[in-house]
């Protein structure tokens, strides 16, 4: 298919492509800046086919990512929130020779690669003639993103142009597409949630309003004052926005918040409904190049709590389920599905068996074909022959006074096999009150046997709670 940036400039050169901290670029201006970076890259003595980029959300990083794509390089997008040892593992695993680092991060990290250049270093490289690729080969791997590593070593997820294109198509068929769409991106562009917005910008011809990071106050102000139509959020971002929702509604162009990154309690979604803030739940992952299941506008009011139905090019089945409502493992088929993990042939054979992707998530389909996600297979707690889903326990506590967050994890138990414990944040909390509340709202075996107060929760770059890290001793110092 024709180079997306080149094609977009042909179709809508004067349309605003990206806005960042008051700076605006039309698609024509964006292409000009991208080509300048491409010429500096071409001036390197050796430009590898696979290049790592370590950047925060900023305009320069945005342009350099696109410049590497224009030159046909495969991008290894690094998580700027990781420790040096974690980054080094990914660089070694991907056999990286060149790592481009934003100036700010360049002062923090000295990574062991053949060549590490800051963006300023790159700008000083003498420009040379750049060979911009005219067509994107569908099966070419354009990005590699390492999984968040909630369990085990991170794996490099390979994503092709075809994956990103069909992801954009599926999203447009679900959400609709307007000529004046403006997607606010406050999620990291090194993560699939942010990068997919960049690609949609090129494919749709829409504006991307880029934020350096999520700041609830600034984002809420932008939703009121700027012509933002859509924003991607994860649960903790949505809750912070609800706490700050202004008395005046969001701007007249606003259409919806697209919610991903894990399930959320029904009560929060009902609050959104009461305040007339359209929230579209979705389900997806790095391996599927963003969302593959989502609720439509018309189904959202009556299917609160569901991730929705598979998007047009996607198929879903529940392994082991023989009837609607029966919980099993979620399997997917999709043109957005990764061709495999980098250098993991055994894992690829296991996960991509018979053309169905084994997600590791548990859920069920109701009688109408709507998907309900219960949680990760590894998160489920099997206690005395009973299955306990942490999300269900957490949802039961949503109205507990002074409780701001609760995360439930299973711990080994000699008698029962495993039992639930809870990590909580809030004020004036006692184990007695929490336990009594749980017994009034849950079956007795689902009530956590211990409660630990914490100040913060370990999260991935996309905001997901890393449950297993809560079992580290540092999070168990304040037992209620």
- The model's pLDDT over 186-228, given as tens digits with 9 standing for 90+, comes to 999 999 999 999 999 999 999 999 999 999 999 999 999 999 9
Whether the predicted pLDDT of 247 surpasses 70: no
Continuous segment of H or E residues that includes residue 360:
strand 357-365
Whether the predicted pLDDT of 235 surpasses 60: yes
Asked whether 90 and 151 are in contact (CB, 8 A), the reply is no
Give the confidence band of 356 by pLDDT, cuts at 50, 70, 90.
confident
Please tell me the CATH superfamily of domain 160-376, with its number.
ANL, N-terminal domain (3.40.50.12780)
Domain ranges of the chain: 4-136, 160-376, 381-476
Tokens for 381, please give them.
């707690």
Question: Which of 72, 99, 73 minimizes the C-alpha distance to 88?
Answer: 99
Number of CB atoms found within 10 A of residue 463's CB? 20
Whether the predicted pLDDT of 151 surpasses 60: no
Asked whether 117 and 101 are in contact (CB, 8 A), the reply is yes
Q: Identify the pLDDT of residue 219.
A: 95
Question: Which of 477, 468, 457, 10 minimizes the C-alpha distance to 236?
Answer: 457
CATH of region 4-136: 3.40.50.980
Question: Which of 446, 440, 397 minimizes the C-alpha distance to 418?
Answer: 446
H-state helical runs in 404-472? 431-441
Q: Identify the pLDDT of residue 200.
A: 97
Query: Rounded distance, CA 149 to CA 155, Å?
Result: 8
Question: Which of 254, 221, 265, 259 minimizes the C-alpha distance to 237?
Answer: 259
Contacting residues for 206 by C-beta, under 8 A, at least 6 apart: 177, 180, 181, 182, 183, 200
Query: Rounded distance, CA 264 to CA 294, Å?
Result: 14
Exposed, middle or buried: residue 279 (CB in 10 Å: 0-12, 13-18, 19+)? Answer: buried
| pTM, entire model | 0.85
319-342 tens-digit pLDDT: 989 899 998 999 999 999 999 999
CATH topology of domain 381-476: GMP Synthetase; Chain A, domain 3 (3.30.300)
Work out the average pLDDT over 359-386: 84
Give the confidence band of 476 by pLDDT, cuts at 50, 70, 90.
confident
Whether the predicted pLDDT of 462 surpasses 60: no
Evaluate whether 4-136 and 381-476 have a shared fold.
no
Number of CB atoms found within 10 A of residue 419's CB? 20
Query: Rounded distance, CA 437 to CA 403, Å?
Result: 12
Whether the predicted pLDDT of 376 surpasses 90: no
């Amino acid at each position: 298919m024709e180079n997306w940036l080149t094609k977009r400039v042909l179709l809508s050169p004067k349309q605003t492509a990206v806005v960042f901290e008051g700076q605006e670029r039309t698609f024509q201006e964006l292409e000009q800046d991208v080509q300048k970076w491409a010429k500096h890259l071409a001036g390197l003595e050796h430009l590898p086919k696979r290049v790592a980029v370590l950047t925060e959300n900023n305009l320069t990083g945005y342009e350099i990512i696109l410049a590497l794509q224009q030159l046909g390089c495969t991008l290894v997008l690094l998580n700027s929130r990781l420790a040096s040892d974690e980054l080094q593992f990914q660089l070694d695993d991907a056999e990286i020779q060149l790592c481009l680092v934003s100036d700010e991060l360049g002062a923090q990290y000295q990574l062991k690669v053949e060549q590490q250049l800051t963006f300023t270093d790159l700008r000083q490289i003498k420009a040379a003639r750049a060979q911009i690729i005219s067509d994107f080969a569908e099966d070419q791997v354009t990005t590699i993103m390492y999984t968040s590593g909630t369990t085990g070593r991170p794996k490099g997820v390979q994503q092709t142009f075809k994956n990103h294109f069909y992801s954009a198509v599926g999203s447009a068929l679900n959400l609709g597409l307007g000529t004046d769409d403006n997607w606010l991106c406050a999620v990291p562009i090194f993560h699939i949630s942010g990068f997919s917005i960049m690609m949609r910008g090129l494919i749709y011809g829409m504006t991307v309003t880029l934020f350096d990071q999520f700041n609830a106050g600034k984002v809420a102000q932008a939703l009121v004052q700027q012509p933002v139509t859509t924003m991607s959020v994860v649960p903790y971002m949505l809750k912070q926005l609800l706490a700050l929702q202004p008395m005046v509604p969001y701007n007249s162009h606003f259409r919806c918040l697209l919610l991903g990154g894990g399930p959320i309690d029904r009560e929060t979604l009902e609050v959104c409904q009461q305040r007339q803030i359209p929230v579209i739940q979705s389900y997806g992952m790095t391996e599927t190049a963003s969302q593959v299941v989502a609720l439509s506008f018309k189904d959202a009011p009556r299917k609160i709590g569901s991730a929705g139905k598979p998007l047009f090019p996607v198929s879903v089945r529940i392994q082991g389920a023989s009837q609607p409502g029966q919980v099993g493992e979620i399997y997917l088929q999709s043109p957005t599905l990764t061709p495999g993990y980098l250098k993991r042939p055994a894992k690829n054979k296991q996960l991509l068996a018979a053309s169905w992707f084994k997600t590791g998530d548990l859920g069920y389909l109701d009688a109408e074909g709507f998907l309900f996600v219960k949680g990760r297979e590894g998160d489920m707690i099997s206690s005395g022959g009973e299955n306990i889903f942490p999300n269900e326990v957490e949802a039961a506590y949503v109205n507990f006074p002074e409780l701001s967050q609760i995360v439930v994890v299973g711990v080994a138990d000699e008698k029962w096999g495993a039992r639930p414990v809870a990590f909580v944040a809030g004020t004036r909390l006692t184990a007695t009150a929490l336990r009594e509340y749980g017994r009034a709202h849950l079956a007795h075996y689902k009530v956590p046997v211990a409660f630990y107060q914490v100040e913060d929760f370990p999260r991935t770059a996309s905001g997901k709670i890393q449950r297993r890290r809560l079992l580290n001793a540092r999070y168990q110092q304040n037992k209620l």
